[in-house]
Amino acid sequence: MGGFRFELLATDGRARLGRMLTGHGTVDTPAFMPVATQGSVKSLAPSDLRAAGAQIVLANTYHLMLRPGHELVRELGGLHRFMGWNGPILTDSGGFQVWSLSKLRRIGEEGVEFRSHVDGTQRTLTPESCVAVQHALGVDVLHPLDECLAHPATVAETERSLALTERWLGRALAAHRGAGSPGALFGIVQGGSYEALRRRAVESIGALDLPGHSIGGLAVGEPKPVMYDTTELVAGLLPADRPRYLMGVGKPTDLVEAVARGVDLFDCVMPTRNARNGQAFTPDGPLNISNARFARDGAPLDPECACEGCRGFSRAYLRHLFMARELLAYRLLTLHNLTFYLGLMRDMRRAVAEGAFGPFRSRFLTRYGVESVGDAADSPADSEA
Amino acid sequence: MGGFRFELLATDGRARLGRMLTGHGTVDTPAFMPVATQGSVKSLAPSDLRAAGAQIVLANTYHLMLRPGHELVRELGGLHRFMGWNGPILTDSGGFQVWSLSKLRRIGEEGVEFRSHVDGTQRTLTPESCVAVQHALGVDVLHPLDECLAHPATVAETERSLALTERWLGRALAAHRGAGSPGALFGIVQGGSYEALRRRAVESIGALDLPGHSIGGLAVGEPKPVMYDTTELVAGLLPADRPRYLMGVGKPTDLVEAVARGVDLFDCVMPTRNARNGQAFTPDGPLNISNARFARDGAPLDPECACEGCRGFSRAYLRHLFMARELLAYRLLTLHNLTFYLGLMRDMRRAVAEGAFGPFRSRFLTRYGVESVGDAADSPADSEA
């Protein structure tokens, strides 16, 4: 594993074209990371991910620590070798999953105690152990333990939480530097929907000279304009020479709007999870393959798409597979949705390189189904759900 | 679609090497047909089937007739185009599924009435409609409606049933010839475990000059020696210049033993269904990937196998995927099991071509785990289950 580096190649308005260099290869940004929750992007093999255009994947610290266990993964040569993916891997801190999946959480200055959702065992995560787990996995980009607040939270709650997250970051950084790991530890900017707290978070994290910055605490139930405005605020404050990762976002329109606000990196379960529920993304908006109108439709899912699902099969066949609960349906729809997401990122990179991101954004949103593009923060992106 | 032809290329004892030519390509025999129950070999795409070495697949008339419906498949260009498989397709008659899956069966001279297991609607299958369904699907090899008896059945029951199946075959053949379809209608030899009835069945079917013969009514609960003896009896009576298909068989040892008795064609859900239950076939016998002893096993599932699952992943990772119920587990194990089955057929073809089938059979059974090979009908093949 070599070092971590980010190169900013071009900008167009606030949209950025860049390149993230890691010990496991290069990632062209803006980039979308498919989610390999348990060390597998559900239904796909690494060769499928490459075919879809993926350059980096995200794995979940929380899930892998509980099953199969990070020490087992370390013994077997690290996560890249274990899951057969030789490109870069980024892990989250596990904090979000502790809050959303586990039971009996007890949070203290030291860290968090919780019960595993897999086997009910009592577990702890501290800033130090969280970093150690990610070192055992051997990932390229890791994250410090943070507290995740539900939306809405009061300013007092958010301020208390932010202070704890900042103290935890200090401990995580010390543990990370002490271990001499080649992975890049990103800082997570929290602060809820409070501008003053977000500013304070950026300032305090900025002093630490971290290789990248993650925008946390969004896409957790807040109104869309709050998400867009907070993203714009934080991205505008972060240093230009480091990558900016908007955690857990989002819908295709959200990706376009966040790139327009200066974000470089994304992850979301939407393309993979929605595929398993029959939703396919297309340039004309999402469609649900179970819809009766596709029963005798001999056209491909998306005539403009080159994925395996769109090249070889009709909507009628994909609908049949889905209605009959055939496993192939989940794989082909997942492959399609990731091909769509990753193609969208590639199109955005090209648009920034050509200085044509504005017209691209306008064209995409119009066709995808967002009618008013004046103030994107007001656009009815939720209508796609 | 061109005509159907079978060429017998070599024999070694009773084992045969041949070639089945169809309008959708050639099948080297002995051959195994992966089962695409609902128009999809569960978890695999046609490209995966090709990679595993498949030349022909089996689809179920009963399932496709109920969902999505054969008329829909016809409208969309036939089953080959619908499922994206351009090689030969064989369909069974649906009789076996009517007896094993549907409810409220009423059998009469005309045909059989049953309730769909999908939506509860009342349906009928007659010898004529059964052939018409398969014509709508546009398959290369089709089967006449037959009655499937459970084991054991009395000689009187079996004789009555066989007579009905013979009358139905006459009607199916008239309907098939009347329609001028290019598909090849095989005759099904029934007769239970009664030698006299099997002989009578072969004689009556032999008079019809059909392009191929299927051995039915086995692998339905009878003792293994009965299955082997009946297979040997029937294969020995059938004309040498037509392919012989042993329906629904079987375990790897069964394939070897049936080829030794002159069978050319097989289908079975075992490699695909067992994969989804975690069972992997290897030259040293089957193993269950969920076994705790594989938790830290960095070796491939089968070091001698070239499938995607064995090339890129460890037993530890496959076990993790299976324990975590990751969809990729089912795909990789299915791909492996079919690669094993289809590789076994290829090895048997090579052995027959080299006049070395006897030693091959002995080596295979010894290594796979069958200890006594003197009289194969006595071999404890069930021990693999």
d(CA A347, CA B327): 30
Residue after which a domain boundary falls, among A268, A296, A325:
A268
B376 band by pLDDT with thresholds 50, 70 and 90 = very low
- For residues A284 and A259, state if they share a domain: no
- At A2 the pLDDT is 54
B381 falls within a domain: no
Question: A322 — contact with chain B (CB < 8 Å)?
Answer: no
Nearest CA to A332 among A343, A323, A321?
Answer: A321
CATH code at A51?
A: 3.20.20.105
B48 contacts B339 by C-beta, under 8 angstroms: no
- At B204 the pLDDT is 97
Q: Which two tokens stand for residue A142?
A: 């890791």
Closest chain B residue to the Cα of A74, Cα to Cα: B296
Residues 6+ apart with CB under 8 A from B353: B9, B10, B17
Distance from CA of B120 to the nearest CA of A (A): 15
Question: A42 — contact with chain B (CB < 8 Å)?
Answer: yes
Amino acid, single-letter form, for residue A40: S
Q: Which residue's structure tokens are 């950025």? A: A16
Helices and strands in chain B: count of H runs, count of E runs: 15, 18
- At A148 the pLDDT is 85
- At A103 the pLDDT is 77
Q: Which two tokens stand for residue B134?
A: 């398969």
Residue B374 has pLDDT above 60, yes or no: no
B58 falls within a domain: yes
B99 band by pLDDT with thresholds 50, 70 and 90 = confident
A231 contacts A220 by C-beta, under 8 angstroms: no
- For residues A149 and A177, state if they share a domain: yes
Q: Which two tokens stand for residue A277?
A: 């529920």
| B223-266: pLDDT as tens digits | 999 999 999 999 999 999 999 999 999 999 999 999 999 999 99
- At A379 the pLDDT is 34
| B275-324: pLDDT as tens digits | 999 999 999 999 999 999 999 999 999 999 999 999 999 999 999 999 99
Among the partner residues A67, A317, A321, nearest to B324 by beta-carbon distance: A67
- For residues A98 and A173, state if they share a domain: yes
- For residues A255 and A290, state if they share a domain: no
- At A191 the pLDDT is 96
- For residues A216 and A297, state if they share a domain: no
Instruction: Find which of B273, B320, B322, B325 to mutate to test the A interface (most A CBs within 10 Å of its CB).
Output: B320
A381 falls within a domain: no
- At A284 the pLDDT is 97
- Show the DSSP H helices in A154-292 as ranges: 155-179, 195-206, 224-237, 252-260, 270-276
- For residues A281 and A171, state if they share a domain: no
- At B373 the pLDDT is 37
**Residue B91's domain spans which residues?**
5-268
- For residues B162 and B304, state if they share a domain: no
Q: Which residue's structure tokens are 């071509």? A: B353
Contacts of B298 in chain A (CB under 8 A): 76-77
Average pLDDT over residues B323-330: 98
Nearest CA to A303 among A293, A315, A289?
Answer: A315
Residue after which a domain boundary falls, among A217, A241, A268:
A268
Amino acid, single-letter form, for residue B133: V
Neighbouring-strand partners of residue A35: A58
Q: Which two tokens stand for residue A164?
A: 């704890």
B299 contacts B287 by C-beta, under 8 angstroms: no
Helices and strands in chain A: count of H runs, count of E runs: 15, 18
Contacts of B43 in chain A (CB under 8 A): 327-328, 331
Residue B52 has pLDDT above 60, yes or no: yes
- Show the DSSP H helices in chain B as ranges: 46-52, 61-66, 70-75, 79-83, 95-100, 127-137, 155-179, 195-206, 224-237, 252-259, 270-276, 308-312, 315-323, 327-353, 357-368
Distance from CA of A259 to the nearest CA of B (A): 32
Q: Which residue's structure tokens are 């308005």? A: A13
| A352-376: pLDDT as tens digits | 999 999 999 999 999 999 754 333 3
Q: If you count residue pairs, one on A and one on B, with CB atoms under 8 Å apart, how many are there?
A: 109
What separation in angstroms does the CA of A124 have from each of A33, A73, A98, A102, A127?
27, 19, 10, 11, 10
Ranges of chain A whose pLDDT falls below 70: 1-2, 371-385
Question: A315 — contact with chain B (CB < 8 Å)?
Answer: no
A226 falls within a domain: yes
B268 contacts A48 by C-beta, under 8 angstroms: no
Average pLDDT over residues B181-207: 96
d(CA A319, CA A322): 5
Task: Test B45 with A324 for CB contact under 8 angstroms.
Answer: no
Residue B45 has pLDDT above 90, yes or no: yes
Among the partner residues B38, B77, B326, nearest to A40 by beta-carbon distance: B326
- At B103 the pLDDT is 77
Contacts of B101 in chain A (CB under 8 A): none
Q: Look at residue A182 and give its three-state secondary structure.
A: coil
Question: A317 — contact with chain B (CB < 8 Å)?
Answer: yes
Nearest CA to A279 among A317, A336, A341?
Answer: A336
Q: How far is CA A128 from the centre of its chain?
A: 23
Q: Using CA atoms in the order B336, B340, B346, B348, what is the torsion angle rounded to 10 degrees?
A: 180
- At B150 the pLDDT is 80
Task: Test B40 with A295 for CB contact under 8 angstroms.
Answer: no
Q: Which two tokens stand for residue B177?
A: 């010839």
d(CA B51, CA B53): 5
Catalytic-role residue among B92, B140, B264, B302: B92
B144 contacts B169 by C-beta, under 8 angstroms: yes
- At A104 the pLDDT is 72
d(CA A253, CA A260): 11
Least confident of A120-124, B102-106, B163-167, B207-211: B102-106
Helices B155-179 and B195-206: crossing angle in degrees, nearest 10, is 20
- At B211 the pLDDT is 98
B382 band by pLDDT with thresholds 50, 70 and 90 = very low
Q: What angle do CA B269, B205, B30 make, to 5 degrees?
A: 40
d(CA A270, CA A35): 9
- At B156 the pLDDT is 97
CA atoms within 13 A on the CB side of A67: 18
d(CA B186, CA B142): 6
Among the partner residues A76, A313, A317, nearest to B314 by beta-carbon distance: A76
d(CA B197, CA B60): 27
| Mean confidence (pLDDT) of chain B | 94
- For residues B75 and B119, state if they share a domain: yes
Contacts of B326 in chain A (CB under 8 A): 38, 40, 42
Average pLDDT over residues B368-385: 45
Task: Test B72 with A38 for CB contact under 8 angstroms.
Answer: no
Average pLDDT over residues B315-343: 98
Question: B366 — contact with chain A (CB < 8 Å)?
Answer: no
Task: Test B42 with A84 for CB contact under 8 angstroms.
Answer: no
Closest chain A residue to the Cα of B309, Cα to Cα: A45
Distance from CA of B93 to the nearest CA of A (A): 20
Task: Test A68 with B43 for CB contact under 8 angstroms.
Answer: no
Nearest CA to A161 among A169, A175, A129?
Answer: A169
B378 falls within a domain: no
Contacts of A331 in chain B (CB under 8 A): 43, 45, 327, 331
Task: Test A317 with B43 for CB contact under 8 angstroms.
Answer: no
Q: Does the annotation mark B209 as catalytic?
A: no
Task: Test B38 with A323 for CB contact under 8 angstroms.
Answer: no
Among the partner residues A46, A76, A298, nearest to B316 by beta-carbon distance: A76
- For residues B11 and B29, state if they share a domain: yes
Stretch (H or E) spanning A125: strand A122-125
- φ, ψ of residue A280 in degrees (nearest 5): -115, 135
Q: Look at residue A266 and give its three-state secondary structure.
A: strand
Among the partner residues B40, B75, B298, nearest to A326 by beta-carbon distance: B40
Task: Test A38 with B320 for CB contact under 8 angstroms.
Answer: yes
Closest chain B residue to the Cα of A315, Cα to Cα: B82
pTM to 2 decimal places: 0.95
Task: Test B43 with A327 for CB contact under 8 angstroms.
Answer: yes
Closest chain A residue to the Cα of B37, Cα to Cα: A326
- For residues A330 and A264, state if they share a domain: no
- At B372 the pLDDT is 46
Nearest CA to B375 among B260, B283, B223, B244?
Answer: B260
- At B378 the pLDDT is 36
- For residues B235 and B138, state if they share a domain: yes
Q: Which two tokens stand for residue B104?
A: 């409220």
A337 falls within a domain: yes
Return residues 48-77 of B near A (CB < 8 Å).
Answer: 67-68, 72, 75-77
Q: Which two tokens stand for residue A59?
A: 């794995």
Q: Which two tokens stand for residue A39?
A: 């060390």
- For residues A312 and A370, state if they share a domain: yes
The count of domains in chain A is 2
A384 falls within a domain: no
A95 falls within a domain: yes
Average pLDDT over residues B99-119: 89
